[in-house]
Amino acid sequence: MKILKLMKGIKKYLIAMIAFSILQVFCELYLPNIMSDIVDIGIANSNTSFIIKEVIYMFIITIIGLISNILLVHATSKFSNLYGYKIRDSLYKKINSFSKKEIDKFGASTLITRSTNNVSNITSTFSFGLRLIVFAPIMGIGAAIMGYTKASSLAPIVTIAVIILMLGLVLIFSLVFPKFEVLQQLLDKLNASTREILSGLRVIKAFNKQDYFKKRFNKVNEENRDLNIFLNKILYLVQPMMILIINISTIIIVYVSTLYIEKGTLEIGSMIAFIQYMGIILTSFLIILVIILNIPRVIVSFKRINEILNVEVTIENKGTIKLHSLESIEFKNVYFRYENAKKDMLKNINFKILKGERVGIIGSSGSGKTTIVNLLLRHIDVTSGEILINGIDIKDYDIESLRNIFAYTPQKTLLFKGSIRENLLFDAKYNVDKLNSAMETAEIKDFIDNNKEGYNYIVEQSAVNLSGGQKQRMSIARALLSGGECLLFDDSFSSVDYITDKRIRDAINKNYKDKMVILITQRVGTIKNSDKIIVIDKGAVESIGNYDELSKTSKVFKEFIDSQKKEV
């Protein structure tokens, strides 16, 4: 398992844990032996000096045990937290390498759960469980040896108690084991339901569907509650069962010991020591089996995280060519089909765009426009055919340099919580003049000028404190500041009015003459003055030409013009 390989470099803490566990066990087991000698030798013979000497030994051993326990906890904490850090780091890097295909396969909700809850399950179990699972076996074996040397005749009582305890815990284990996988799946569903409600809160309120979504959420929430209650009811039987077995065993040992003491074959101190060792033995078995009960939760978490780490990413960065400049983009006989789809999304796409050209791509919803963008950015790869940049297959380029060549504005505007400056620059260094120029081009500079906080204005989560048009214009400004040689706008003017749309495009044409511009839209007015317009219909190129040519020859384009006469 790849997740186990992440322990490399932190195994030294495991070695330290074992060493300090052995030292602590020695201290814990030696104390009842000293107590036995105090009773049988010191008190029985009224030997005060012997008692004082043994008490001093007990104090020293207690201090050593305390120090070893502190060091043991420290080593365990370092191991569990460093391991959790390495798992989260690996998950973050792996998920960031995912293509659209892998993201869609798992879904955002389960990826969040696996990166948070599942990692927490592992680190929390390791933080206490790993220390105990090293400590408990050594303690149990040591107590059994010491107890047997003190009173071998009482050993069968402890053996029977251990067998009864194990049978009870195995029964409990068999009841809860299958439920932990179900619990994680319910947590995914709860997470997904919560995300859905929060992201669609305005729509829910607009249609007055609060009760409907409340019932949906309650159903998942109740399933999660009922399963947790069931698991807790079963698991909480462990402690009372343990106390019952220890108390009954103690009564039996005391009763049997009186018979041996009367015969003179057993001393009182040995009986006291044996009772203490019995408690240690049973507690050690309990600790081991309780940890075993938590193992299903950890196994499920290991399995779910390992599924992510073992995913073979479909878009691998195997290209070695660094892309520094952009001269042309060409689609040659490109076909693309989504996984498990019956039909191709794109069929025989052919077109070429040269540096400095203004190109519009128009088509109805679902025609494949955004799929073309995803292919260009290598979020997905072609099923057949090839995409050439500067005459070289796109797969031969280093992905980072490929994506840096595009200044991309996505169809769905996404701004992050933080200041406007942070959203625009992503920590890059730009002078104020360049920043102001991009904001003026995107027709959003007036918002900054009229706001006392300026670029320090805080954008809330999901940009709820900005209008749709402001978010789109902010996204356009961010793309302009990225420095890419191809300005790629995926339906990025849909939330701005037609006049603002035209002003932005005029400013781009004026200030970015040397760049390639690709405008993807459903608005004819947005691409009317483009050098070339590509009409996409049902995943295929219906026609290519300028506005005047297509308005006469393209049936699909004429339909767009007729439906938008006023705006055009």
How is the chain split into domains, by residue range? Answer: 2-309, 328-563
Look at residue 130 in the predicted model and tell me its pLDDT.
66
Task: Give the model confidence (pLDDT) of 186-201 as tens digits.
Answer: 887 888 888 788 777 7
Between 355 and 102, the higher pLDDT residue: 355
Look at residue 18 in the predicted model and tell me its pLDDT.
80
- Strand 384-389 and strand 516-521: the pairing is unpaired
Task: Give the model confidence (pLDDT) of 247-282 as tens digits.
Answer: 887 788 777 777 777 776 677 767 777 777 777 777
306-319: average pLDDT: 85
Sign of CA dihedral 362, 364, 367, 369: positive
Look at residue 384 in the predicted model and tell me its pLDDT.
93
Q: How confident is the model at residue 376 (pLDDT cuts 50, 70, 90)?
A: very high
**Gyration radius of the chain's alpha carbons:** 35
499-527: average pLDDT: 89
Structure tokens at 362: 């128009």
Look at residue 310 in the predicted model and tell me its pLDDT.
87
Look at residue 336 in the predicted model and tell me its pLDDT.
93
- In percent, how much of the chain has pLDDT > 70? 94
Q: Got the DSSP string for 316-348?
A: -----B------EEEEEEEEE--TT-SS-SEEE
231-238: average pLDDT: 78
At 28, give phi and psi (nearest 5°): -65, -40
Q: Please return the burial class of 320, using the count of CB atoms within 10 Å of its CB with bins 0-12, 13-18 and 19+.
A: exposed
Q: What is 328-563's CATH superfamily?
A: P-loop containing nucleotide triphosphate hydrolases (3.40.50.300)
Q: Got the DSSP string for 158-213?
A: HHHHHHHHHHHHHHHHHHHHHHHHHHHHHHHHHHHHHHHHHHTHHHHHHTT-HHHH
Q: What's the one-letter identity of residue 421?
A: R
- pTM, whole model, 2 decimals? 0.68
Between 217 and 3, the higher pLDDT residue: 217
Q: Which helix (H) or strand (E) holds 361?
A: strand 358-362
Between 339 and 374, the higher pLDDT residue: 374
Task: Give the model confidence (pLDDT) of 436-494 as tens digits.
Answer: 888 899 888 888 888 888 888 888 877 778 888 888 989 999 988 888 899 999 988 88
Look at residue 1 in the predicted model and tell me its pLDDT.
62
Residue 10 has pLDDT above 70, yes or no: yes
Look at residue 453 in the predicted model and tell me its pLDDT.
87
326-342: average pLDDT: 90
Task: Give the model confidence (pLDDT) of 13-43 as tens digits.
Answer: 878 888 887 887 778 777 777 777 777 777 7
Q: How confident is the model at residue 568 (pLDDT cuts 50, 70, 90)?
A: low
Q: How confident is the model at residue 544 (pLDDT cuts 50, 70, 90)?
A: very high
Q: What is the mean pLDDT of the chain?
A: 83
Look at residue 329 in the predicted model and tell me its pLDDT.
94
* Same fold yes or no, 2-309 and 328-563: no
- Nearest CA among 67, 41, 29 for reference residue 279: 29
Those residues with Cβ within 8 angstroms of residue 536's Cβ, 6 or more apart along the chain or in another chain? 361, 362, 363, 367, 368, 369, 372, 542
CATH 1.20.1560.10 fits domain 2-309:
yes
Residue 354 has pLDDT above 70, yes or no: yes
Look at residue 543 in the predicted model and tell me its pLDDT.
93
Q: Distance between CA atoms of 200 and 213, rounded to whole angstroms? A: 10
Q: Please return the burial class of 361, using the count of CB atoms within 10 Å of its CB with bins 0-12, 13-18 and 19+.
A: buried
Those residues with Cβ within 8 angstroms of residue 226's Cβ, 6 or more apart along the chain or in another chain? none
